[in-house]
Chains A and B, each alone.
Chain A
Amino acid sequence: MSAQMAGVTRKPIAKLRSMGGGWLEKVCLGLLVLFVLVALFAPWLSPQDPTYGELGTGLVGPGADHWLGTDQGGHDTFSALIEGSRTSLAGPLLVVLVSTVAGIAIGLFAAWRGGWVDTVLGRLLDVVFAFPALLVAILAVAVFGKGMTAPVIAMSVAYMPYTARLVRGLAMQEQARPYIAAYRVQGHSALYVAVRRLLPNIGPTVLAQSSVNFGYALLDLAALSFLGLGVQAPTPDWGAMINQSQAAVLRGQPLSAVVPAVAVVVVVVAFNIVGENVGDRLAGRKT
């Protein structure tokens, strides 16, 4: 333990790479890569047009024509799963990108300026924090109508405090370390020190948090589509697929809903495991 306390993290990125992780983490990472590849090449991978519903072939079981069967409207579930991965992953990706960048900026600003700026920003973040992301997304739909654009922007704001608080805390800790003072003494500007020296040191921890955020953002956006407020038919989306299969579920044919549900859970589990394990190792905790 003393070795961990004594060792100052010099190059966390290199450390991150060298640590590797266990088999579970590798499997999860592999799954994530697979899903990303599927999303990128979806139009070439899906065997059929998921928006094409064939009358008379509704709720067909798995078979040669439809690997995972069809839903009530005769849409091929496997194709919808593949094409749905695009909207299902792109939304949370945007949320995480925007919230991470904004969170880093605000967190660094609060930590660097300190004083009343820090206090006011802290109070504002507290207010944002009181709004759960899904509620903000629903509110955005109420104001701007159904679809994904407004909820994605609104959720970027809702997820921002998590990153901002983390960055502020880490930056406060790092600021107290001698190396930052050394750079300042050498005449580097505060902005230069923050971006070039401080950020690389806290970056991996922030990345781990963003990875966990991605999972939760995916859940929230899928929930929005499940409620019928997010992605609208005929655009395929995992949450919307579950929503559209509710009647089939009541008829005892839940496959077209279970398939996207499993996809959602698998992706989120993978993101959580990768994010948390990396975070734990960076913080020196071993599970």
Chain B
Amino acid sequence: MSRTATRAIGVVSRLAGMAATLLVTSFLVFSSLYLAPGDPASFLVRGRSAGPEELARIRHRYGFDEPFLVRYWDWLGGVLHGDFGRSYVFHQDVSSVIWSRLPATLLLIAASALLIAVVGVAAGIVGALRRGTRTDSMLMLLVTVGAAAPAFVAALLLRSLFGVKLGWFPTIGNGTGVLDRLHHVVLPAIALSVTFMAMVTRVTRSSMLEELGREHVEVAVSRGTPRWTVIRRHVLRNALGPIVTVSALLISGMLVSTSIVETAFGMSGVGSLLVTSVNQMDFQVVQAIVLLVVAAFVVVNFLVDLVHPLIDPRVAAAGSAR
């Protein structure tokens, strides 16, 4: 069989695997909230007194009286069309509730991802090249503490120091206008990235060290290739596989941590929406956000799987040999 055909079959089977994972996920999320104690209809009329007929009418209108599988099927059909149902609290479509908060969260994630990629990888490279020196020891100490510093601790310290004490950055809210929004996102982005930056630094360093010890690196040096060319083309390039794989695995933790950071900094975004929705028992919104977080993780890792042969051609060889 031709290599392209084998590769296409591999992609299709992975795609099917991803779809299965997402289906199981959606079922788990839907059924877990179905289990929630309490009658959603009486929740909907909270505050107002309602007779049994009115409750029955509401149940019927929202489809609460349908069997479980039918309701799951309807919900799933809606989700596939981007319809996550209606929020009981906001009296709006869940999708528009999330959509309006998405830009703030995406900005936060983008800023953190940039920090993680640039600072994390750079620190890892420095650590590997300065292995065993004082710089390396300091970096590794920072990495150990950073990996253990959760977003809420980082947020607390950054807010106290740079927000309250020095007054360099705002301590609360999203800001308005481009520059003000960027000004508001600096501290949250740092708070969100500390842990993941530490992990990326660690994997970059160890992956670089492993590649630095390889004979092909010595061969490149023996051929008079300049040091930085060797590091860029043979060490970092070859170390990229583990760095990308680990970074993709960190995505899920990062997405959840937006709820911590957004709550800590009083920002309005999808993360803080999750927390307020849990507090207000707005199950439709909780369902949608949980599903989106898991789906984002699954899709990103699927894409990383797809591009892996480009990073390391041996992966493609191993795949087609199966």
Contact = CB atoms under 8 A, between A and B. Distances in A.
Contacts of B164: 249-252, 254
B148 A258 contact: no
Contacts of B293: 132, 135
B260 A226 contact: yes
Contacts of B28: 127
A228 B32 CA distance: 21
Contacts of A219: 148, 150
B148 A254 contact: no
Which of A138, A145, A228, A264 neighbours the largest number of chain B CB atoms within 10 Å of its CB? Answer: A138
Contacts of A265: 145, 148-150, 153
29 contacts: A127-B21, A127-B28, A131-B252, A132-B253, A132-B256, A134-B256, A134-B257, A138-B275, A138-B286, A139-B32, A142-B36, A143-B35, A143-B36, A145-B37, A223-B150, A226-B260, A226-B264, A229-B275, A239-B152, A249-B164, A254-B156, A254-B160, A257-B160, A258-B156, A258-B157, A261-B156, A265-B149, A265-B150, A269-B145
Contact size range, B: 35 or more
Given A142-B281, A228-B279, A265-B148, A130 B35 contact: no
Given A130-B298, A135-B294, A141 B150 contact: no
A123 B151 CA distance: 31
B274 interface: yes
Interface in B283-322: 283, 286, 290, 293-294, 297-298
Given A130-B294, A138-B274, A227 B144 contact: no
B29 interface: yes
B313 to A, nearest CB: 25
A229 B263 CA distance: 12
Nearest to B36: A143
A249 B156 contact: yes
Interface in A156-209: none
Interface string B140-162: 00001101111111001101100
A242 interface: yes
Contacts of A69: none
Interface of A: 123-124, 126-127, 130-132, 134-135, 138-139, 141-145, 215, 219, 222-223, 226-229, 239, 242, 246, 249-252, 254, 257-258, 261, 264-265, 268-269, 272-273
Interface in B6-24: 17, 20-21, 24
Nearest to A143: B36
Contacts of A264: 150, 153
A272 B149 CA distance: 12
Nearest to A287: B140
Give the dominant DSSP class at A's interface: helix
B255 interface: yes
A132 B255 contact: yes
B165 interface: yes
A228 B147 CA distance: 23
A222 B150 contact: yes
Contact of A269 (B32, B148, B160, B279): B148
Interface in B239-257: 252-253, 255-257
B238 interface: no
B194 to A, nearest CB: 11
Interface string B20-56: 1100110011001101110000000000000000000
B9 to A, nearest CB: 18
Nearest to A273: B144
A204 to B, nearest CB: 21
Contacts of B171: 250
A258 B24 CA distance: 41
